[in-house]
A and B are shown apart, each in its own frame.
Chain A
């Protein structure tokens, strides 16, 4: 079968970055072509150009043999290109059917033909095995079902080139299985699919071919059958990353953090953290592994006092800190590298110096009788900029002007220099360049060795494995297992992260190993 899509030498320059640098990409009829790369490698940009959301600065696009100009999503839709976005493009108060037909409505005279809208959606969902209630309000649907609506939207518009942008990021393992089944059904009916992800295992599970992007450049295209995890990882990252951080054995001391039956609910009353109990001692790193969205964020926010606790208690250094304000928790000896530095960790329009005192801004020596002590604030900034190698080393620049890695260094510098008893690092190296990752990892271990109790939450298994002394797995709001690092294998972690029970794993191991031979 021939190519349905060719993108040649696509270039896209954003104000600060070259997002796509002469990228070539093609798609065969009826194949699943995975497009992989780390965050910020330019995958979504490339596909947004194809869908008409961004305008390319160079290169050409050929769809079914015809060179095309796509400057509007409307044109992409007319070319039978559909896109399922990572952040769903759904209008929550509207029904499933209304969302699906929006923009290409079925009419009866000047009015909407509600009956035919519903029957058309039913027909499509039947044909592709995507069960859905056309009259349900989208706001009431689960994330998995909302994604279905997105796929149906594309199919309704007759798409036979379907782009899925990080479709699994928000799904439960079961929903991922279902999605893969749907993709295979679509493929068998002749749809050509671009599957954007940064998870190599998914690439291997579902794709026919895979293209790797790194920092805006195309690194290569492989047939999935002829590649492996190691090769793809190297293509993505560019060089073999030091997986093991240099560190000595942990010397666990007194108990610093103690959670007893902590339960957290979201604003709708859904349980997000369910009866979690664990302890972290001084001088150790406890890593929490888990697929994102299994309650890790809520747990961290609860400890930090940023979210209400619905049940249970939290002790920090033998003090009951349940229900304390974030400031009080902080002053009790707590530091936090939040998972989203732009949302939580930084005031981007504040200077680097002012960001370096966020949370300390009310304490001596930075404030005296309610007045800022500019001299102390400047000295503090100079010191941290030097110690943490924040670049460019200009204290008066707004944090917005710095790169992601240097922004993260601001957060790390601020939180670490307080030498807190309890340090929580949530996704500490997300969107950070390799050099900064190593630096941050070393700092985490240094904190541990100075006696801090470190709780590490990370979606990157490598990070959890290389930094932790003990590992806990969080699934569906619960801690399913806590184990010393020596007992951890990646395989076991993967099993637990996807909802397996520890008992089952041990049983499986016995029979499983027999099966394999």
Chain B
């Protein structure tokens, strides 16, 4: 039993949890932007996948992973733009469009993988973003083993949470964002451009999800492989709900899910099948939605196209 406790509080597990959480955090922040603006985004998975591919692809051709990051954000943003055009302008069902994007991204990435590299499964290896040591954090005992040396994207994810929190709660734009997802007509009557807000938010959503995908292909690993997001976009969506559509809440959920992920290999040794740990985020989200642990209620107008007049 003592072993289990020691394992659960192992700094290596915490550090791994943070790494596992990083792509989730980016995508979840993206999900928050989109959902807060009133557009349901079940396409995070497809946006991440596109980001992961593009990051690899651009890095492969330029040799510069940070250019790959940029490319991934652009590609994710582009997918976001498509989602927005269909949902905002053409009033398509947002869940349907999201499903289409996920299928589209799954098909497109393999299409391109096969066309450019002639292989279906995995891309060639590319340069990755190397881990860095943070001078201050690495000098604090215990903390240093978790946060002292990590990938820059890990730190960036934590910074992004704070930035998004400030944007949503402390800026005029954030106030408008919270308004358009809740009662778009009210926002419209005071001159807030609902369509513009939604376009921008969904594009940001895609860019952030793309950034999350980047971590998978050029930081965590050094290649793209078919379907490599493996449902992480949906875990991020679960984190958005579990975190009650707030950046800090989503961060907590992502860290927890990442922790469960990091723990699963070790728990398998004591007889708990990994699949049960894999299920955890989804089960917990259902429990949260059912109201057993403080009901999760999303933005009221989320999912509904806005029609003027």
Point out residues on A near B: beta carbons under 8 Å. Answer: 51, 53-55, 72-74, 77, 83, 85, 88-94, 98, 101-105, 107, 110-112, 153, 157
Interface size in chain B (residues, C-beta < 8 A): 21
B171 sits at the interface (CB 8 A): yes
Check A98–B175 contact: CB distance below 8 A: yes
Closest to B297 in A: A93
Q: Given A91-B183, A105-B175 in contact, is the A111-B170 Cβ separation under 8 Å?
A: yes
Give the CA-CA distance A101 to B178 in the complex, in Å: 13
**A50 shortest CB reach to chain B, Å:** 13
Closest to B166 in A: A111
Q: Give 5 A-B pairs besides A77-B191, A104-B190, A111-B171 with Cβ atoms closer than 8 angstroms.
A: A73-B191, A91-B186, A94-B182, A110-B171, A111-B170
Residues of A within 8 A of B190 (CB): 73, 77, 89, 102-104, 153, 157
Residue interface bits B173-194, CB-to-A below 8 A is 1, else 0: 0111011001101111111100
Within 8 Å by CB of A103, from B174, B176, B178, B185, lies B176
- Those 6 A-B pairs whose CB atoms lie nearest each other, nearest first: A103-B190, A74-B191, A89-B186, A105-B172, A103-B191, A91-B182
B141 sits at the interface (CB 8 A): no
Check A53–B170 contact: CB distance below 8 A: no
Give the CA-CA distance A171 to B276 in the complex, in Å: 55
Give the CA-CA distance A263 to B188 in the complex, in Å: 40
Give the CA-CA distance A51 to B188 in the complex, in Å: 11
**A13 shortest CB reach to chain B, Å:** 13
Residues of B within 8 A of A85 (CB): 189
Residues of B within 8 A of A102 (CB): 175-176, 179, 186-187, 190, 192
Check B309–A112 contact: CB distance below 8 A: no
**A111 shortest CB reach to chain B, Å:** 5
**A52 shortest CB reach to chain B, Å:** 9
**B66 shortest CB reach to chain A, Å:** 26
Which among B172, B182, B188, B189 has the highest number of chain A CB atoms within 10 Å? B189
**A415 shortest CB reach to chain B, Å:** 33
Closest to A83 in B: B189
Q: Given A53-B309, A104-B191 in contact, is the A94-B179 Cβ separation under 8 Å?
A: yes
Residues of B within 8 A of A53 (CB): 189, 309
Check B191–A91 contact: CB distance below 8 A: no
**A110 shortest CB reach to chain B, Å:** 6
Residues of B within 8 A of A89 (CB): 183, 185-186, 189-190
Give the CA-CA distance A88 to B175 in the complex, in Å: 18
Check A72–B183 contact: CB distance below 8 A: no
Give the CA-CA distance A110 to B173 in the complex, in Å: 9
List 21 interface pairs A-B (beta carbons < 8 Å), by A numbering.
Answer: A51-B189, A77-B190, A89-B185, A89-B190, A90-B183, A91-B178, A91-B179, A91-B182, A91-B187, A94-B178, A94-B179, A98-B175, A102-B179, A102-B190, A103-B176, A103-B191, A104-B191, A111-B170, A112-B170, A112-B171, A153-B190
**B258 shortest CB reach to chain A, Å:** 29
Residues of B within 8 A of A93 (CB): 178, 182
**B103 shortest CB reach to chain A, Å:** 30
Give the CA-CA distance A77 to B175 in the complex, in Å: 19
Within 8 Å by CB of A92, from B182, B189, B192, lies B182
Point out residues on B near A: beta carbons under 8 Å. Answer: 166, 170-172, 174-176, 178-179, 182-183, 185-192, 300, 309
Residues of A within 8 A of B182 (CB): 91-94
Give the CA-CA distance A218 to B259 in the complex, in Å: 69
Residues of A within 8 A of B300 (CB): 92
Residues of B within 8 A of A91 (CB): 178-179, 182-183, 186-187
Give the CA-CA distance A88 to B186 in the complex, in Å: 8
Check A55–B309 contact: CB distance below 8 A: yes
**B299 shortest CB reach to chain A, Å:** 9
Closest to A89 in B: B186
Residues of A within 8 A of B171 (CB): 110-112
Give the CA-CA distance A67 to B73 in the complex, in Å: 47
Residues of A within 8 A of B309 (CB): 53-55
Residues of B within 8 A of A110 (CB): 171
Residues of B within 8 A of A98 (CB): 175
Residues of A within 8 A of B172 (CB): 105, 107, 111-112
**B295 shortest CB reach to chain A, Å:** 13
**B240 shortest CB reach to chain A, Å:** 17
Closest to B180 in A: A91
Residues of B within 8 A of A88 (CB): 186
Give the CA-CA distance A92 to B300 in the complex, in Å: 10
Closest to A113 in B: B172
Residues of A within 8 A of B178 (CB): 91, 93-94
**A242 shortest CB reach to chain B, Å:** 38
Check B170–A103 contact: CB distance below 8 A: no
Residues of A within 8 A of B191 (CB): 72-74, 77, 103-104
Residues of A within 8 A of B185 (CB): 89
**A181 shortest CB reach to chain B, Å:** 25
**A143 shortest CB reach to chain B, Å:** 16
Give the CA-CA distance A403 to B81 in the complex, in Å: 41
Residues of B within 8 A of A94 (CB): 175, 178-179, 182
**A356 shortest CB reach to chain B, Å:** 31
**B1 shortest CB reach to chain A, Å:** 45
Give the CA-CA distance A153 to B179 in the complex, in Å: 15
Within 8 Å by CB of B192, from A90, A103, A112, lies A103
Give the CA-CA distance A83 to B186 in the complex, in Å: 11
Which among B170, B176, B183, B190 has the highest number of chain A CB atoms within 10 Å? B190
Residues of B within 8 A of A153 (CB): 190
Give the CA-CA distance A93 to B36 in the complex, in Å: 12
Check B175–A73 contact: CB distance below 8 A: no
